[in-house]
Structures are given as structure tokens and as C-alpha cells.
Amino acid sequence: MDDLIRKERILAVDPSTRAIGWAIFEGCRYVKSGSARDTNRFGELLYREGRFSTVVIESVYLKMNVATAMRLTEVATTCAVLAQIRNPGAEVFKIAASAWQARQLRVGHKTKRVDRKRLSILVAREIARRDVTEDEADAINLGDYFIRYGGIHGSTQGPGAPAAGKKAKGDKGSLR
């Protein structure tokens, strides 16, 4: 394992209107996870847990109720901004749920939400080696997906995407 992988400190974030799931990885190793009830508590987490070199956030799926999509976008944007304020220079990536779910859970977009959530919890339990909540399960899987298939070992946008460090056409990749 090279020095870059060993030094990488990753925060994976699954924003939702109910709670913000988060998971911390150091290099390729899962460290811990949890959930924050709101963006204020998420901000406290950022200060308590120290610095991150990379922040990975699940992107907002827009085929939903407009009010829910707007609230979720607000939560995701606030999480990204707080992460950038606390971690200037950190790379911030957004990854579609469909990308990590296809690889991590081996499911397609036609799989029912309840089945995707159940599988997410089962896979996250294997990674964390403990029981996990629904909120933190998606963050654990998002972070694990990023490590296995994304920023450290390949692309962050799924199959056919540019290699790590490269931006897809029109992709900002980071909020800097």
C-alpha cells in the first residue's frame, strides 16, 4: 500500500432530510460512523473529528417531490460547504446513489427502495463489523465504494468515467 493511500482521511456523507449519515475511513480502513440529526450537529462532528483530505457526498436524486428535492439539496450543499470550511483544500466529490448501489449492492434502479436499504445495512454491517443504522449504512457503503472504485483506485463517476484526479466533462469535482 503506498503512502497516499495510508495518509488519505476520508469522510463519506449521506445527506437526508431526517438525519445525516457519516462514515470515516483512514486509507482503505473503516474507522467509525454515525449520524447527525441536523447540519449544526454535522458541523460539530467536523470540528470534533479533525481534518479530512477527501469528502465524498451522495448527490441528490432529483426525480422526487420538488419540496423534498429542494430540502435535500439544501442539506447536501450545507454539508459540502461546512466540510470545505473545516477542510480547506480537501477534494469534495459527489457520487450518485445509483453508482455506488450498482457496485456495492449489485442492484439496479428498478430494485425497490426498501430492498436497497435492507441490502445497504447488511453490507455496511460486514464493513463495520457491528450493527448500523439506516442513515450510517449508506455513508459506510458510499465511502467503501469510493475507496474500492473511486478516488483512490479509479473513477468517481462509475463505469466509463475518467481516472482519479481527472474531471469528467462539465464536472467541478471539488468545491474549491
- So what's the pLDDT on residue 64? 65
Mean pLDDT score of the chain? 80
String of DSSP letters for 106-161 = ---TTS-HHHHHHHHHHHHHHHHTS---HHHHHHHHHHHHHHHHSTTTS-SSSTTP
Distances (CA, A) of 76 to 22, 33, 81, 84: 12, 18, 9, 12
Antiparallel, parallel or unpaired: β 29-36 and 20-26: antiparallel
Residue 53 CB contacts under 8 Å (≥ 6 apart), including other chains? 7, 8, 9, 10, 87, 90, 91
55-90: per-residue pLDDT in tens? Answer: 999 987 766 678 888 888 888 888 888 888 888 888
Q: Which domains does the chain have, with CATH numbers?
A: 3-149 (3.30.420.10)
- So what's the pLDDT on residue 133? 94
- Cell 449489485, residue located: 106
26-58: per-residue pLDDT in tens? Answer: 989 999 999 998 888 888 888 889 889 999 999
- The CA-CA-CA angle for residues 123, 23, 90, to 5°, reads 130
pTM of the predicted protein model: 0.79
CA–CA gap between residue 40 and residue 7 (Å, rounded):
28
Residue 160 CB contacts under 8 Å (≥ 6 apart), including other chains? none
